[in-house]
Amino acid sequence: MTSLWSRLEPLLARVRKPARYIGCEDGAIVPQHGHGKVAWLLAYPDVYEVGLPNQGLQILYEILNERPDAVAERTYAPWVDLEALMRERGIPLFSVDSHRAAEDFDILAFNLSSELVFTNLLNMVDLAGVPVRAELRSPTDPLVMIGGHAAFNPEPMADFIDVAVLGEGEEVIGEITEVVREWKVSGRTEGSRLAVLKALAQIPGVYVPSLYGVEYDGDHIREIKPLYAGIPERVMKRTVSDLGDWDYPRRPLAPLTEVVHDRLAVEVFRGCTRGCRFCQAGMITRPVRERPAEQVRSMIVDGLQRTGYNEVSLTSLSTADFSGIESVITSIVPDPTACGAPTVSLPSLRVDAFTVGLAAKVAGGRRSGLTFAPEAGTWRLRTVINKLITEEDLYGAVESAFASGWSRAKLYFLTGLPTETDIDTQGIIDLAAGCVAVGKRHTGRANVTVSIGGFVPKSHTPFQWFGQNSVPELRRKIGLVRDAATKTKGVNVKWHDPSASLAEGLASRGDRRIGAVIERVWRDGGVFQEWSEYFKLDRWLDAMAAEGLSPDFYITRHRDEKEILPWHHLSAGLHQDFLWQDWRASLNEFGLEDCRWTPCYDCGVCTGDGLEHIVASPIPPAGGSQGTGQDLSRGGITPVTLRSKSSVGAT
Amino acid sequence: MKIRVTYAKLGKIRFTGHRDVAHMWERTLRKAGIAVAMSVGFTPRPKMAFGLALPTGAESLIELIDITLDPVSGVTVDDLDSIADRLSTSLPVGMSVTGIRECAGTEVSLQEGVVATTWVMLVAEPENGPDIATAIERVISSAEVLLTRERKGEKHLDDIRPGILELRSADAELMSSLPADWIGESAGHAIVATLTTSGRGIRPTELVEVLVPDSDPPINPWDHLNRVLRINQWIERDGERVDVLTGRAAHTSVSA
C-alpha cells in the first residue's frame, strides 16, 4: 500500500482546479490503516465540489474512523481532464486523504444521490482497476457497495454492484464492517466472495442483488426471489431511531477550495410527513425524527468554531417545521455589531407568512431573494400531488416577503405531473403574475422568477405507477409557460432542457435489463450525465435500441396495481397498499394531512419498524401548516381517471 | 491597528488558488478568534489586503497579507507574538506564519509596492535541444527575448528580456538554505530568477517557455517546471530595489 502522490503530483498543475485532489481539508482525518482493519473507500461519483459537502459521506467517514476495526478515506470522480492523464499513465482511482489506490481498500462504497451519476460509478470502478461487472470480480477485488436515496431502486445497477444498503448508514456500517473483517482475517480465499455476500445479506438493510433471481414474462416481471436458502425474501430499509444519539459530523469538513455548499451544515431533523406524493425523499426517510434543540445549538457553536465558517445552514426536508426553530434562531441569530456573527440559511422552507418572518430574522441586511416551492399552478393539481398550499398561503407569504424588504421571489414548479392539463400549466404563470401584483404594492422593482423542472416519477412513492411525460410533451409544456411569461411583466422563466429526464426516468424505475443500457452509455463516453455539456440524449436512445428495449415500456407507460415493480422485494417501510391508496386518492384530488399532528393513517413505517415520530411539539407550527386543520373539501369532488398519454395536454 | 503578516505556503496546498487562500484567511482569523475590522456597506468584508497572487501550483517562503484589526479587539504590539502563534495553529497544513509586525497606514500597499519577485525553479532538462545551463547563457546574453503571449484573446509578440532581472543556476548554498523537505522526489536543474511584476509581469511558466526548445504542439511549461518556489519579494525605494521585509538593497545587479 503506497501513496500514488508522487505520480499524481506532476499532473496536477496541468489540470483545472487541482485543489480537488489534494485533500488536506480542515476536519480531515489522518487515516490509520492496519492489519485486521476493514478499509472503506467512501466514494462520491461526482466532482469534488459537489461531493465534498455531502453530509451522509462525512458522517460515515467519521463514524468508521472512530471504530478500532475500520479505517475510511474519501474519493470523488476525477474531472475529465485528470481522468485522461490518469488513464494515459496507468494511474488508478485514488483516495484524497492519503492518495492510496482504490484497489487497496476492502470496500468501495458509493453514495448515490441521483440516478444520473450511475455511469460515473461504472467509470470510477473501472478506473479503480476493478471489473465493472460484479460476476467477474475475484476475492482480491474490493466489494462495491451503494447507498443513498438513489439506491432505493438498485436494480439497474444490479450487474455492477455487490451490495446495496437501504436507508440510513450510521448503524449498519458497523455491522458490515464486522462481517467483512472476518472475511479479511480468513484470507479472502478463492470462492469466498459468495460466502461473504451471503453473510452480508443476513444484515437487515443489506441487499445483495446477485443472490436474487428475476424471472420475466415477456416484458413484465413474473417473480423476484432469493436463489439460496436463508436469504430474506424482502429487504427492509434501516432507520436510526433517535437522531440525538448521532451528533455527527462532529468534525465537519471545511475544504480549502470553493464547493457548492460552502458553509457549515447542521441537520435539524430527518424524515418528512408532509406527504408530497412526488417526493421520494419525503417517503423513504420517514418517520420524522427531530434533533434536540440544545444539540442543534451545540453543533452550530462547535462547528463554527472548528471550521471558522460564519454561515450555517439548518438542513432538513422542511426546516420551518422543526419545532425548535424559533428558539435556535433566537439564540444564534447574528448580532450585527459583533464581527463574525453567523449568518443562518434556511433551505427547504414552507410557503407561509410565518416562514417569511423566520427568513427575515436571519437575513440581516441582505435581501437577495426568497424561494418558495408551490410545485403546481392550480389548487386542483396541488391536491393531486398533496402539496397543500392555497393561493392565500402563497400570496400571504409573498406579501410578507415584499413587505419585509425583498424585491425578488423565486417560485419552483414541476411540470409533467399526473392529471396535469394545460390549464394547470398556464396556472403557473397566473400564480407568478399574482405574486408580482402583490409585490408591486410594495416596490416597483418587484419581480418573480419561475423555475420549472420536468417531473420524474420515483420508486417507493405513490407516483411510482405513473407514466412519465415524454420529452416532447415536457418541452411543449415548458414552452407554454415561456410563451405566457413573455406576455407577463415582471415574470422570468428558468428551465432546463428536459431531455435528461428520460435517462433519469429510465434509471429511476428500470429493472435489471437497464444495466446493459447504462454500460453502453458509459462505454460510449457518457459520464457526468448531470452536467448538461456532457449529456447526449441520443446516447441513451441508441443504447436502448441496441438492447431492444422500449422507452415507452420503461418510462412513459402507466403501471397497474398487479404489476410486479422491479423494487418489489425492497421496502422503505411503506405498505404497498398505502402507496396504492394514496395514488388513487391523488387521482381523486384528495389531500392527506400531516400525520405529525393528525391521526396516523398507517403508511406502515412506524408500525412496521417499531418506530415513532420524535417531534418536540404536539401542535403544528405557527402560521400555515399546509393541510393540517385546513379545509380540504375542495378536493375529492370529481373523480379523475388517467387518460391515455396520447391525448395532448393531459397526462 | 494594521498588521503585516508574512507566511509560507508549501506542499500539497500549493494547488489551491489565490481566491481559495483569501477564504482560508477569513476562516483562519475567525478560528483564531482575532477580530478583524470590517468594511462598511451592504455586504461588509473583512479588511484584508493581499500581495501579489501566487500562481496555482507555485510555493512560497514569503507571502504577504495586511490585516486591519478591529479597534475593539484591543490588540497592542505586545500581543503580536501570540497572534502569530494562534494564526499558525489555525492555518491549514502547509501554511504557517513566518513574521508579523505593525504596519503603518502610510506604507505603500502590497499590490502596488512589489515590483519584482525571486523564484527558485526546478526545471527538467529537455530531451532534445540545448540544456538549461546553455539556455540560461543564451537568455542573459541576448538583448531581446521574444515570447508570444495572449492578451484579451489576441496574440502579442513581447520582448520579455527587460523583465528578467536576474537569472542563474542556483548554487549549493542557496539550495541548502531551503526547507529540507521542499524538493522531495522532484528533480531538475535548479535556477534562480528574479522577474518583474510591474506592468505585464513575467510568470515563471513564461520563463520556462523561453528556456526549453519550442515544439509543435506547443509545450506545456508545467511538463518541465517540476517545482517553483517564491523566495523573495522586492519593493522600490528611492529608485532602488529593496527586500520587502528587511529593506535591504538587492545585492545582485539589475542587469545580468
Q: What ipTM was reported for this prediction? A: 0.92
Parallel/antiparallel/unpaired status of strands B154-159 and B146-151: antiparallel
* B145 and B217 both lie in a single domain: yes
Residue at B253 is within a domain: no
* B18 and B100 both lie in a single domain: yes
CA distance A85 to A561: 51
Q: Chain-centre distance of CA A594, in angstroms?
A: 21
* Domain end among B40, B75, B107: B107
- Which stretches of chain A score pLDDT less than 50? 336-339, 624-625, 634-640, 644-651
* Domain end among B61, B91, B107: B107
CB B3 within 8 A of CB B80: yes
Percentage helix, strand, coil for chain A under 3-state DSSP, each rounded to 5? 40, 15, 45
Higher pLDDT, A52 or B111: A52
Determine whether the interchain pair B30/A340 forms a contact, defined as Cβ–Cβ distance below 8 Å.
yes
CB A170 within 8 A of CB A196: no
Residue at B33 is within a domain: yes
Determine whether the interchain pair A24/B220 forms a contact, defined as Cβ–Cβ distance below 8 Å.
no
To the nearest whole Å, the CA of A12 is away from the closest chain B CA by 7
Q: What is the DSSP string of chain B?
A: -EEEEEEEE-GGGGGS-HHHHHHHHHHHHHHTT--B-B--SSS--B-EEE-SPPPTT-EEEEEEEEEEBPGGG---GGGHHHHHHHHHHHSPTTEEEEEEEE--TTSPPHHHHEEEEEEEEEEPPPSSS--HHHHHHHHHH-S--EEEEEETTEEEEEE-GGGEEEEEEPPHHHHHHS-TTSSTT--SEEEEEEEE-TTT---HHHHHHHHS---SSPP-GGGTEEEEEEEEEEEEETTEEEETTT-PBPSS-S--
* B232 and B162 both lie in a single domain: yes
Residue at B124 is within a domain: yes
pLDDT at position A357 is 83
CB contact residues (below 8 A), chain A span 220-279, against chain B = 254, 256-258, 262
Determine whether the interchain pair A366/B35 forms a contact, defined as Cβ–Cβ distance below 8 Å.
no
pLDDT at B144 over 80: yes
Residue A397 makes CB contacts below 8 A (sequence gap 6+) with: A351, A352, A353, A355, A356, A372, A624
Determine whether the interchain pair B16/A23 forms a contact, defined as Cβ–Cβ distance below 8 Å.
no
Cell of A7: 505520480
Residue of A nearest to B15 (CA): A19
Determine whether the interchain pair A256/B20 forms a contact, defined as Cβ–Cβ distance below 8 Å.
yes
To the nearest whole Å, the CA of A344 is away from the closest chain B CA by 15
Mean pLDDT of B123-131: 89
Alpha helices, H only, A404-511? 422-440, 471-486, 499-509
pLDDT at position A636 is 38
* B10 and B100 both lie in a single domain: yes
E-assigned strands of A358-434?
A: 370-375, 408-415
To the nearest whole Å, the CA of B249 is away from the closest chain A CA by 33
List pLDDT tens digits, range B168-223.
999 989 998 998 777 765 688 999 999 999 888 999 999 999 999 887 778 889 99
How many domains are there within chain B? Answer: 2
Average pLDDT of chain B to the nearest whole number = 89
Chains A, B: CB pairs < 8 Å: 79
CA distance B77 to A216: 80
Determine whether the interchain pair B56/A13 forms a contact, defined as Cβ–Cβ distance below 8 Å.
yes
Pick from B13, B27, B184: CB nearest A24? B13
Residue at B141 is within a domain: yes
Determine whether the interchain pair A24/B24 forms a contact, defined as Cβ–Cβ distance below 8 Å.
no
Pick from A13, A256, A258: CB nearest B57? A13
Determine whether the interchain pair B70/A305 forms a contact, defined as Cβ–Cβ distance below 8 Å.
no
pLDDT tier, B254 (very low <50, low <70, confident <90, very high otherwise): very low
Residue at B62 is within a domain: yes
Residue at B171 is within a domain: yes
State the sign of the Cα–Cα–Cα–Cα dihedral A276, A434, A399, A478. positive
Q: Is A18's Cβ below 8 Å from some Cβ in B?
A: yes
* B130 and B185 both lie in a single domain: yes
Mutate: best of B16, B68, B183, partner A, most A CBs <10 A: B16
Determine whether the interchain pair A24/B94 forms a contact, defined as Cβ–Cβ distance below 8 Å.
yes
* B239 and B134 both lie in a single domain: yes
Distances (CA, A) of B126 to A123, A369, B156, B202: 35, 56, 26, 21
Half-sphere exposure (Cβ direction) of A55: Cα atoms closer than 13 Å = 20
Pick from A6, A256, A258: CB nearest B92? A256
Residue at B250 is within a domain: no
Q: Which amino acid is it at B156?
A: H
Determine whether the interchain pair A18/B223 forms a contact, defined as Cβ–Cβ distance below 8 Å.
no
* B66 and B167 both lie in a single domain: no
Determine whether the interchain pair B28/A18 forms a contact, defined as Cβ–Cβ distance below 8 Å.
no
pLDDT tier, B245 (very low <50, low <70, confident <90, very high otherwise): confident
pLDDT at position B18 is 95
Place of cell 492489519: A35
Residue at B60 is within a domain: yes
Residue of B nearest to A302 (CA): B31
* B117 and B231 both lie in a single domain: yes
Containing structural domain, residue B10: 2-107
CA distance A270 to A289: 5
* B235 and B170 both lie in a single domain: yes
Determine whether the interchain pair B30/A306 forms a contact, defined as Cβ–Cβ distance below 8 Å.
no
Determine whether the interchain pair B225/A339 forms a contact, defined as Cβ–Cβ distance below 8 Å.
no
Nearest alpha-carbon partner for A572 in A234, A250, A255, A331? A234
Other C-beta atoms within 10 Å of B150: how many?
Answer: 8
* Domain end among B55, B77, B107: B107
Mean pLDDT of B22-48: 91
* B116 and B218 both lie in a single domain: yes
Q: List CB contacts (< 8 A) between A13 and chain B.
A: 15, 56-57, 222, 225
CA distance A243 to B151: 56
What phi and psi, each to the nearest 5 degrees, are found at residue A478? -60, -35
Distances (CA, A) of A467 to A14, A463, A555, A557: 47, 9, 6, 4
To the nearest whole Å, the CA of B222 is away from the closest chain A CA by 6
Q: List CB contacts (< 8 A) between A23 and chain B.
A: 12
pLDDT at position A647 is 40
Q: List CB contacts (< 8 A) between A366 and chain B.
A: 42-43
* B124 and B98 both lie in a single domain: no
* B123 and B199 both lie in a single domain: yes
Nearest alpha-carbon partner for B24 in B88, B81, B107, B69? B88
To the nearest whole Å, the CA of B168 is away from the closest chain A CA by 24
What phi and psi, each to the nearest 5 degrees, are found at residue A341? -65, 140
Question: Which of the 8 DSSP states describes residue B6?
Answer: E
What CATH code is carried by the domain that includes residue B100?
Answer: 3.30.70.580
